[in-house]
Amino acid sequence: MSDTNYNLIVLYVILGACAAVMCSYAVARLTGNFEEAEFQNFSNEQVEYMRQVRQRNLDYLGWMMRSKRPSSEGRLPVGHQCRCLTIITSVRRLRLDVVSEKRRGDVDETGDQRDGERQG
């Protein structure tokens, strides 16, 4: 068989799969109970709570991105994940400082400053 026949076979398989999906959707639409979703009227307490949750999540994301903008409540979220993130970023920053100091020649291989050899 030539390559053209293989290409036609693949095309027919793809078209058959599309036709099967459309037929299945039509049958499900006719037999299923697909009602339009209605907007629910939430209580004022629920709306206020969800607003606070969204704002808290946005504040947390801003804190993670080290944004200079203050939080709406004037404080950063405190929790186990925040503490772990602070420790991880502090260690990473320390390593970057050591690497930059090594490039300048102020730090030996152990990360300690050399006595009396500070360039300047």
Q: Please, where are the H alpha helices in the chain?
A: 3-31, 44-64, 80-104
Question: Are both 72 and 82 inside the same structural domain?
Answer: no
Note the pTM of the prediction, 2 decimals: 0.30
Question: Are both 64 and 46 inside the same structural domain?
Answer: yes
Supply the range of the domain harboring residue 89.
78-110
- pLDDT given at position 60: 85
- pLDDT given at position 33: 74
- pLDDT given at position 72: 53
Question: Are both 49 and 26 inside the same structural domain?
Answer: no
Q: Is 56 exposed, middle or buried (0-12, 13-18, 19+ CB in 10 A)?
A: middle
Question: Are both 28 and 53 inside the same structural domain?
Answer: no
Q: What is the pLDDT of residues 64-118, one digit of tens each?
A: 776 455 555 555 555 444 545 555 555 555 555 555 555 555 545 555 555 454 4
In a domain, 117, yes or no: no
User: Residue 20 pLDDT more than 90?
Assistant: yes
Question: Are both 1 and 30 inside the same structural domain?
Answer: yes
Question: Are both 90 and 72 inside the same structural domain?
Answer: no
In a domain, 20, yes or no: yes
CA-CA distances (angstroms) from residue 72 to 66, 76, 87?
15, 9, 24
Q: What is the pLDDT of residues 33-63, one digit of tens each?
A: 777 666 778 889 998 999 999 999 888 887 7
Question: Are both 23 and 49 inside the same structural domain?
Answer: no
- pLDDT given at position 14: 98
Distance CA(72)–CA(51), nearest Å, equals 12
**Total domains in the fold of the chain:** 3
- pLDDT given at position 11: 94
In a domain, 4, yes or no: yes
